[in-house]
């Protein structure tokens, strides 16, 4: 170890070299320092303790000489040659980057050329020289708090760069630091206040819950809807007014205050309202009529006010209320002023045509029960337009099918006209369900595209569900229906098909099925006539024909299988037949005894609903007369059905046998089978002249007298079976039972000789 003189001399010489200053009196100063150190050593030897002497004057081991030309900072390239990396939780590759300690040491060793501060003064870009480990490189080093760093770099000749200071940055940062906490605190207070007020208002006063579709959202247009050709003119007028209101205002025309969309469920009322908003490019607010009714009085009126207030702020816009009868139902004379429904509709009337200006706000509403609305709503100034949406016609159904087939893989060449023809009477929602069910059917059979067979299979499943005669989920791999039950179902469906085919002016037969897929059920689908669907006006003959066809299945069971083998399959059809008869007598005035008197309640339940409405409050005598007319209509339909089945007994047998072999037949196949068997048609669709006699016989138009019947019976030969005494239990030489009253259809059974059927056909 060097003594104190050597160390001091060395340090002093180093400082002289660092500063570049050569001292002239260096030797004199060294002698004086040596003399001072010697005196200090003699004093310590005289007065120091033994322990202090050993510590101060004991010889120490000499360390290794340090090569000042080599840096103490490790070369980053050395890490690439290390085969075994150290086990550490830190990333080893990041250890090659320069640390702050390494940066300080490199500055001390004068191996750093330039340092540039970043804009935030939290790090520096260090550029080393060629003497540094790794050569010339530039790396980013994070800076801790160190007030001595700047002096350290200046002392060792580092070139320091810094971006020019912008005085506005300090001002802006000071403003942000001062303003941001105040603004954030204010925002939190307002949010908390609004949340509390909204909850309180919703709980006490009731804020309107509106769904908004703004301009920027993806909206529907007229390209996305079809089947509205009948109302396109009025709809496009609304769109033109929303797009260019000045054109109408210049001529003195004001905007329609309200538009009421009326139609059966599934005809696309809500879809049409969205398409109008999307075509015009205006916001679309929607709400349900049931959202305005609460147990607290005044909530509904408050929500109506809030709803119109929001709509006025977003004008021009469309305000749509679905299921409008829930809010606009007719006010009764017994309603009090404090009634919640009365206050709600009064507020609605005031908002639509009151002191507030609703320019640019078009109120649209949809309902299935227009007769249930209050008359004050449909006056001019409130709901100016009432648009009826009928069921789509043939071309409309084709367009709707193509719209719902856009996102599906449909086989090329699908006959949309054929599918639309088979779906007469379907609404837009039902057609959408048809295409979706077709896709499900195709997936079940493992196909990659939807074929025409899949569409008609889905149509058959929908028909079964609609008629309540089976579920599409009950499919069996093999036929497990007993033969007796299968024949019963075949007889029932064959009777309905036969009467529908021979009745003039009735609907076209589309398909008939018996136990499809092993399901113990059957159905017959008739395609409704387009003129009946569009006008919703039918003739008396068509109503009577529906009664005859409806009761034909029940009559076929009784005729072919016997009264003891009748089933409950005809319950729903019989109920429908009775409803038609009640509609004819009570509402349409088709009664012989009562005449043109309407006894049906005027309240309409739903548009397009097949069920009849309630009967008005009438006396017992009048009800008894009406019941007699209803019974005559139903019995006449039953008699005509028996007559048609008896006259066409061979075609009925042929159709039953065909259905037992082939479970599904198209309308064309039914026509071929019946025509080949010599079917006889009815001359007209009416039930006038058909009835039951007192002795149980059948009365029909053009019926022969008893003498003519007796003479006709005399010409009939006796069957070989009757001469042997085993024909229907008749003794030898006696007239068989079926010949005693051949006009009674109860006697017509499967064991009749062909001759009797031929004679009945002549009658």
The pair of structure tokens assigned to 612 is 């009849």
Q: What are the φ/ψ torsions at residue 483 (nearest 5 degrees)?
A: -60, -35
In the block, tokens 């935030």 appear at 120
> Pairing mode, if any, of strands 385-389 and 361-367?
unpaired
> Pairing mode, if any, of strands 211-213 and 284-288?
antiparallel
Q: List CB contacts of 681: < 8 A, sequence separation 6 or more.
A: 501, 502, 503, 504
Distance separating alpha carbons of residues 557 and 199, to the nearest angstrom:
66
Distance separating alpha carbons of residues 492 and 200, to the nearest angstrom:
64
Q: How far is CA 308 from the centre of its chain?
A: 27
Does 493 participate in catalysis according to the annotation? yes
How many CB atoms within 10 Å of residue 703? 16
Distance separating alpha carbons of residues 667 and 669, to the nearest angstrom:
5
Peptide linkage before 316 cis (omega within 30 of 0) = yes
Give the ranges where 128-166 is alpha helix by DSSP (H): 149-155
DSSP state string for 459-526: HHHHHHHHHTS--TT---SS--S-HHHHHHHHHHHHHHHHHHHHSTTPPEEEEEEESGGG-S-EEEEE
Distance separating alpha carbons of residues 746 and 563, to the nearest angstrom:
9
Q: Which is catalytic among the residues 109, 226, 291, 493?
A: 493
- For residue 362, the cross-strand partners are 318
Distance separating alpha carbons of residues 673 and 668, to the nearest angstrom:
9
Is 259:385 a contact under the CB 8 Å cutoff? yes
Is 208:310 a contact under the CB 8 Å cutoff? yes
3-state secondary structure of 573: helix
Q: What are the φ/ψ torsions at residue 425 (nearest 5 degrees)?
A: 95, -5
User: Ramachandran region of residue 508, left (φ > 0), alpha (ψ -120 to 50) or beta?
Assistant: beta
Is 684:545 a contact under the CB 8 Å cutoff? no
DSSP state string for 671-708: HHHHHHTT----S-S--TT-EE-TTS-EE-TTPPPHHH
How many secondary structure helices (H) and strands (E) does the chain include? 26, 15
Distance separating alpha carbons of residues 471 and 456, to the nearest angstrom:
16
Helix 667-676 / helix 483-502 crossing angle, nearest 10 deg: 80
**Cα 423–424–429 angle (5° rounding)?**
65
- DSSP state at residue 51: H
Indicate if the alpha-carbon torsion angle 289, 290, 291, 295 is positive or negative. Answer: positive
Is 320:284 a contact under the CB 8 Å cutoff? yes
Q: List CB contacts of 673: < 8 A, sequence separation 6 or more.
A: 651, 654, 655, 658, 665
Active-site residue set: 493
């Amino acid at each position: 170890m060097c003594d104190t003189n050597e160390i001091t001399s060395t340090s002093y010489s180093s400082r002289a070299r660092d500063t570049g200053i050569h001292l002239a009196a260096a030797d004199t100063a060294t002698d004086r320092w040596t003399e001072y150190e010697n005196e200090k050593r003699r004093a310590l030897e005289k007065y120091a303790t033994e322990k202090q002497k050993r510590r101060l004057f004991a010889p120490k081991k000499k360390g290794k000489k340090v090569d000042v030309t080599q840096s103490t900072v490790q070369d980053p390239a050395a890490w690439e040659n290390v085969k075994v990396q150290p086990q550490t939780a830190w990333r080893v590759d990041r250890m090659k980057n320069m640390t702050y300690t390494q940066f300080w040491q490199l500055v001390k060793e004068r191996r750093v050329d330039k340092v540039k501060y970043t804009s935030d003064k939290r790090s520096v870009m260090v550029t080393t020289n060629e003497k540094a480990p790794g050569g010339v490189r530039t790396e980013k080093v994070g800076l801790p708090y160190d007030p001595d760093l700047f002096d350290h770099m200046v002392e060792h000749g580092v070139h320091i760069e810094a971006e020019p200071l912008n005085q506005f940055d300090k001002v802006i940062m000071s403003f942000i630091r001062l303003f941001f906490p105040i603004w954030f605190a204010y925002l939190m207070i307002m949010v908390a206040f609004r949340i509390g007020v909204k909850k309180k208002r919703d709980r006490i006063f009731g804020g309107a819950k509106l769904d908004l579709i703004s301009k920027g959202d993806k909206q529907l247009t007229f390209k996305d809807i079809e089947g509205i050709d009948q109302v396109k003119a009025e709809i496009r007028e609304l769109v033109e007014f929303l797009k260019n209101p000045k054109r109408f205002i210049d001529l003195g025309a004001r905007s329609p205050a309200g538009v009421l969309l009326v139609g059966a469920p599934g005809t696309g009322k809500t879809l049409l309202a969205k398409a109008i908003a999307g075509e015009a490019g205006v916001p679309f607010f929607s709400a349900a009529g049931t959202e305005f009714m609460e147990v607290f009085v005044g909530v509904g009126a408050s929500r109506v006010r809030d709803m119109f207030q929001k709509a006025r702020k977003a004008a021009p816009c469309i305000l749509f209320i679905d299921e409008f009868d829930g809010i606009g139902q007719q006010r009764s004379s017994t309603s009090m002023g404090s009634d919640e429904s009365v206050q709600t509709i009064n507020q609605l009337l005031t908002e639509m045509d009151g002191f507030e200006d609703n320019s640019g706000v078009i109120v649209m509403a949809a309902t299935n029960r227009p007769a249930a609305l209050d008359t004050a709503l449909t006056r001019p100034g409130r709901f100016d337009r009432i648009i009826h949406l009928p069921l789509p016609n043939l071309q409309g159904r084709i367009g709707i099918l193509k719209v719902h087939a856009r996102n599906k893989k449909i086989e090329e060449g699908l006959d949309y006209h054929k599918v639309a023809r088979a779906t007469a009477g379907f609404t837009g929602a039902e057609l959408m369900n048809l295409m979706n069910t077709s896709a499900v059917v195709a997936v079940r059979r493992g196909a990659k595209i939807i074929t025409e067979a899949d569409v008609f299979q889905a149509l058959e499943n929908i028909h079964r569900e609609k008629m309540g005669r089976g579920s599409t989920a009950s499919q069996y791999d093999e036929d497990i229906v007993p033969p007796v039950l299968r024949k019963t179902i075949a007889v029932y469906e064959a009777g309905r098909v036969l009467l529908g085919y021979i009745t003039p002016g009735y609907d076209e037969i589309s398909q008939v099925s018996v136990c499809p897929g092993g399901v113990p059920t059957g159905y017959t689908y008739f395609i409704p006539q387009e003129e009946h669907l569009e006008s919703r006006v039918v003739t008396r003959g068509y109503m009577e024909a529906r009664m005859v066809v409806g009761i034909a299945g029940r009559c076929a069971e009784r005729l072919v299988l016997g009264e003891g083998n009748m089933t409950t399959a005809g319950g729903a059809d019989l109920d429908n037949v009775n409803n038609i008869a009640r509609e004819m007598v009570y509402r349409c005035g088709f009664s012989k005894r009562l005449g043109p008197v309407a006894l049906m309640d005027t309240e309409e339940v739903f548009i397009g609903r097949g069920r009849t409405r309630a009967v008005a409050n009438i006396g017992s005598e009048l009800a008894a007369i009406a019941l007699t007319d209803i019974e005559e209509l139903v019995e006449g339909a039953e008699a005509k059905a028996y007559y048609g089945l008896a006259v066409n007994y061979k075609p009925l047998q042929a159709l039953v046998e065909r259905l037992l072999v082939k479970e599904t037949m198209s309308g064309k196949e039914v026509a071929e089978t019946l025509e080949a068997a010599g079917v006889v048609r009815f001359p007209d669709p009416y039930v006038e002249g058909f009835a039951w006699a007192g002795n149980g016989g059948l009365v029909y138009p053009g019926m022969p007298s008893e003498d003519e019947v007796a003479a006709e019976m005399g010409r009939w030969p006796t069957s070989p079976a009757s001469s042997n005494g085993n024909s229907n239990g008749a003794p030898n030489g006696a007239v068989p039972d079926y010949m005693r009253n051949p006009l009674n259809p109860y006697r017509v059974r499967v064991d009749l000789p062909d001759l009797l059927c031929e004679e009945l056909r002549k009658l």
